[in-house]
Amino acid sequence: MEYILFDLDGTITDPKEGITKSIQYALHKMGIEVTDLDSLCKHIGPPLKEGFMNHWNMSEEEALKAVEGYREYFVPTGLYENVVYEGIEDVCKELLNQGMKLIVATSKPEIYAAAILKHFQLEKYFIDICGATLDGSRSKKGDVIRYALDKNKICDSDVVVMVGDRLHDVLGAQENNIPVVGVLYGYGSKEELKKAGADYIAGNLTELKEILLQNFKSQN
């Protein structure tokens, strides 16, 4: 194993405050009032437009307007209402020491992902940051993963693994025929990850490091 693709939200950082407040703001602009921010955690992970359509019965046109509202709050403020998971830097350092190459693969727009990683001084651990496009032409996790693989000229599925916290990470990896490790410290449940077909499930960052080093350690 040579490459590890990392999801961002719920895997590298905990974006709860910024995302839920941005969703709340967007819903307010659409005439929907939500006071319980915890109820909006379901939006952490999936593409935004899909989330607005699935959870709020919006049409595609309405969902796109909601996405615009979301970004009004997220770009200047919500982007930085975010917390790095304690221990993730140590995991990245150890994986790098073992010869692995790390890449971010997120459904968050690439420009925002890059800004977050730079803000928290985490970009140095990754050889590439791959995300969605602002216009939504690339937003599904399977498409983002394919983009990351193609961009980095990774042709052999035996040299790459995906790490993420939601079923979208699992399904996206499966679409690209690569193994996936689900993590439980983010926003997906064990039931969700098992049902989606995660190859491995890590309860915490210590378990994640052990799984990666025991099963996917670089042979270089």
Q: Which range marks the domain in which residue 178 is found? A: 3-14+82-215
Q: Cα separation of 10 and 178, whole Å?
A: 20
Domain boundary among 80, 102, 126: 80
List the catalytic residue out of 7, 9, 165, 169. Answer: 7
Could you give the residue ranges of the DSSP H alpha helices within the chain? 16-29, 48-56, 60-74, 88-97, 110-119, 141-151, 167-175, 190-196, 205-215
Closest of 141, 157, 151 to residue 3, by C-alpha: 157
The per-residue pLDDT for 46 is 85
Q: Cα separation of 184 and 180, whole Å?
A: 13
97 and 156 assigned to the same domain? yes
42 and 86 assigned to the same domain? no
71 and 102 assigned to the same domain? no
Q: Quick check: is 50 in a domain?
A: yes
Q: How many residues comprise the chain?
A: 220
DSSP structural state of residue 18: H
113 and 148 assigned to the same domain? yes
89 and 169 assigned to the same domain? yes
Q: Quick check: is 220 in a domain?
A: no
Give the total number of structural domains in the chain.
2
Q: Quick check: is 75 in a domain?
A: yes
Instruction: Give the number of other CB atoms < 10 A from CB of residue 76.
Output: 9
Is residue 32 a contact partner of residue 25, using CB atoms and an 8 Å limit? no
151 and 104 assigned to the same domain? yes
How do the pLDDT tens digits run along the chain, 220 residues long? 699 999 999 999 999 999 999 999 999 999 999 999 999 999 998 889 999 999 999 999 999 999 999 999 999 999 999 999 999 999 999 999 999 999 999 999 999 999 999 999 999 999 999 999 999 899 999 999 999 999 999 999 899 999 999 999 999 999 999 999 999 999 999 999 999 999 999 999 999 999 999 998 765 5
Check which CATH number belongs to the domain holding 94 and give it: 3.40.50.1000
- Annotated catalytic residue 143: no
51 and 125 assigned to the same domain? no
